[in-house]
Amino acid sequence: MPTEPAQRYHDHVFDQGNPLAERNTRWAVMLTVVMMVVEITCGWLFNSMALLADGWHMSSHALALGLSVAAYAAARRFAQHPRFAFGTWKIEVLGGYTSAIILVGIAGLMFFQSVARLLAPTPIQYDQAILVAILGLLVNLICAWLLKGGHHHHHDSEDHDHDHDHHHDLNLRAAYLHVITDALTSLLAIIALFGGKLWGASWLDPVMGIVGAILVSIWAVGLIKNTAKILLDAEMDKPIAAQVKDRVHAQRPATEITDFHLWRVGKKHYACILSVTTSSAVTADLVKEWLNSIEELVHVTVEVNHGRSNVS
Instruction: Return the pLDDT at 308.
Output: 66
Give the type of residue at 86: F
> Residue 264: in which H helix or E strand, if any?
strand 256-264
Pick from 46, 59, 238, 217: which is nearest to 123 by CA?
46
Pick from 256, 181, 262, 252: which is nearest to 220 by CA?
181
Which tens digit of pLDDT belongs to each residue from 290-302? 999 898 898 999 9
Pick from 63, 74, 58: which is nearest to 98 by CA?
63
Instruction: Return the pLDDT at 7.
Output: 35
Give the right CATH number for 6-231 from 1.20.1510.10, 3.40.50.450, 3.10.20.740, 1.20.1440.230.
1.20.1510.10
Lowest mean pLDDT: which of 45-49, 195-199, 230-234?
A: 45-49
Percent of the chain with pLDDT over 90: 16
Ordered by start, the domain boundaries in the chain are 6-231, 239-306
- Average pLDDT rounded to a whole number, residues 283-309: 88
- Average pLDDT rounded to a whole number, residues 159-164: 41
Whole-angstrom distance, CA of residue 297 vs CA of residue 288: 10
Percent of the chain with pLDDT over 70: 83
> Residue 143: in which H helix or E strand, if any?
helix 126-148
> Residue 204: in which H helix or E strand, if any?
helix 204-231
Whole-angstrom distance, CA of residue 91 vs CA of residue 307: 42
Instruction: Return the pLDDT at 92.
Output: 85
Confidence bin at 9 (pLDDT 50/70/90):
very low
pLDDT over threshold 90, residue 307? no
pLDDT over threshold 60, residue 14? no
| pTM of the full structure | 0.74
- Across the chain, mean pLDDT equals 79
Which tens digit of pLDDT belongs to each residue from 106-124? 888 888 888 888 888 877 7
Which tens digit of pLDDT belongs to each residue from 260-270? 999 988 878 89
Could you say which DSSP state residue 120 is in? S
pLDDT over threshold 60, residue 69? yes
- Compute the CA torsion angle 270, 176, 188, 31 (nearest 10 deg): 170
pLDDT over threshold 60, residue 228? yes
Confidence bin at 240 (pLDDT 50/70/90):
very high
Q: What is the CATH number of domain 239-306?
A: 3.30.70.1350
